[in-house]
Amino acid sequence: MVVSTSPLPQAVALPRGERVPVRDLPAATAPGPVRVRCPRAPIRTLEAQHRDAILHHLLTLGERDRYLRFGYAAQDEHIRRYVDGLRFGLDEVFGIFNRRLELIAMAHLAYMVSSERGSDSAEFGVSVSAHARGRGYGHQLFGRAVVHARNHGVRYLYIHALSENAPMLRIARSAGATVVQHAGESECHLELPPADFESHVSELIEEEVARTDYWLKACRRGWRRLMRWLAARG
């Protein structure tokens, strides 16, 4: 390390009221890129009463998004059959609602029951509405599903996706999953650690927070409807 021994420059006193021209000031250093961390969204467990919201969410997906979500060009009838076949009470479905109680992102954790290993494996799928992307909802839903799977004895989590589904593969790789690609398709598998006290408590708290958030949004929606009705009558 080299230490300079030259004397420090002395400050020059300026006459009272005189200002340094802006052009003589050193240029400010340009700020680097700023990474904005999106706030965590309340994620609640969906139930059979939410079938209509799930159907509406999936039907609003564009043709390309349907192809990436289901692995084929899913038509409206295919989506209706998928929603009708959701096994609430066996599988788990998680969702994120906006302030108008519209489902804008959802994940499906389907248990893979086999005679060899029982139900220690599950498959994960996720979809996010086009206008709600870029907020990390896919990653958050994946994290929520992983915690739930751990707490219910799942050891292996699988993701089947098209190799061109870059967001889904990015989620899998960021979690440390092994990705095997073949003939335009990718299979990701992740071995999960066993559940612990922290995973059980965190899931319990997150579910209660999400249900409270949903209830508050429902109250606000009901209040707005009441005010509109009163305004129309008055």
| Cα 69 from Cα 64, distance rounded (Å) | 9
pLDDT in tens, 60-88: 999 999 999 999 999 999 999 999 999 99
Contacts of 213 (CB under 8 A, 6+ apart): 42, 44
How sure is the predictor about 34, in pLDDT bands with cuts at 50, 70 and 90? very low
Residue 119 has pLDDT above 60, yes or no: yes
| Cα 167 from Cα 181, distance rounded (Å) | 15
How sure is the predictor about 171, in pLDDT bands with cuts at 50, 70 and 90? very high
pLDDT in tens, 173-207: 999 999 998 888 999 999 999 999 999 999 999 99
Quick one: which of 41, 140, 38 has its CA closest to 98? 41
Q: Write down the pLDDT at residue 187.
A: 92
Other C-beta atoms closer than 10 Å to the C-beta of 92 total: 20
Residue 10 has pLDDT above 50, yes or no: no
Q: Write down the pLDDT at residue 102.
A: 96
The gap between the terminal CA atoms of the chain, to the nearest Å, is 81
Residue 3 has pLDDT above 60, yes or no: no
| Percent with pLDDT over 90 in the chain | 70
How sure is the predictor about 18, in pLDDT bands with cuts at 50, 70 and 90? very low
Q: Write down the pLDDT at residue 230.
A: 82
Residue 25 has pLDDT above 80, yes or no: no
Q: Write down the pLDDT at residue 225.
A: 83
Residue 145 has pLDDT above 90, yes or no: yes
Burial of 47 from C-beta contacts in 10 A (0-12 / 13-18 / 19+) = exposed
What is the mean predicted confidence (pLDDT) over 137-157?
96
Residue 156 has pLDDT above 80, yes or no: yes
Q: Write down the pLDDT at residue 37.
A: 60
